[in-house]
Amino acid sequence: MRSLQARLFGASLLCLIAGSLAYSQASEYRDNESGVSLSLPPGWRWIGPERWGDHQSTLLLRELGTGHEIKLYVKNLEPPEAVMPARKMNKRLLKQAQRKADQRTGEGFENYHNRENSFELKPINGRSAMSWVADYTKNGRHMVEYLTRVRSENTSALFFARLPFERLDNFKARIDPIIETLQVP
């Protein structure tokens, strides 16, 4: 009887230790100034945020094993916008995607254009959001930019990453679960 209790106690202790180690590897990013937060799985780290301009910041997220990176741009809207229906916010997201393409073209990105039929409107934690892909050329190589904008009346947040075309599907599978944890005020 004593031996069985000791084994059960030992097994329980091992489970608690293993669970606490697994939990401690995941991390929560919280920016008290902008009010945004997100969860990173084990192996991901953040650098920053770098603050600049009027209520703006950029945060770098990096997966240590693969070198995958994505940036999160956040702008707190001052003053906040009026509350609007999701349909109106979704139209705004589509317009902002075109403005982003115009901005990138102005920055000198060669052949930059939003990929048709790549726009995916979806809610992220109760906020309007849209993901899409843009194609461009860099030194003769086909590149993509993967973007997700999340909007509220108080905050505009934009995830963006540039990578070779052939790495897009693997990258999306790794980064979308992180994006889905974003909380904006």
**What pLDDT does 7 receive?**
52
Residue 38 lies in a domain: yes
Residue 104 lies in a domain: yes
Residue 58 lies in a domain: yes
Residue 96 lies in a domain: yes
Per-residue pLDDT of the chain (185 residues; tens, 9 = 90+): 556 555 544 444 444 444 433 434 469 999 999 999 999 999 999 999 999 988 999 999 999 999 899 999 999 999 999 999 989 999 999 999 999 999 999 999 999 999 999 999 999 999 999 999 999 999 999 999 999 999 999 999 999 999 999 999 999 999 999 999 999 99
Residue 77 lies in a domain: yes
Q: Which domain holds residue 105?
A: 26-179
Burial class (CB in 10 A: 0-12, 13-18, 19+), 146: buried
Q: How many domains does the chain have?
A: 1
**What pLDDT does 54 receive?**
85
Please list, in sequence order, all residues whose beta carbon lies within 8 angstroms of the beta carbon of residue 177, skipping any fewer than 6 positions away.
41
Residue 158 lies in a domain: yes
The CATH number that applies at residue 169 is: 3.40.1000.10
Residue 19 lies in a domain: no
**What pLDDT does 26 receive?**
65
By the 8 A CB rule, do 132 and 73 touch? no
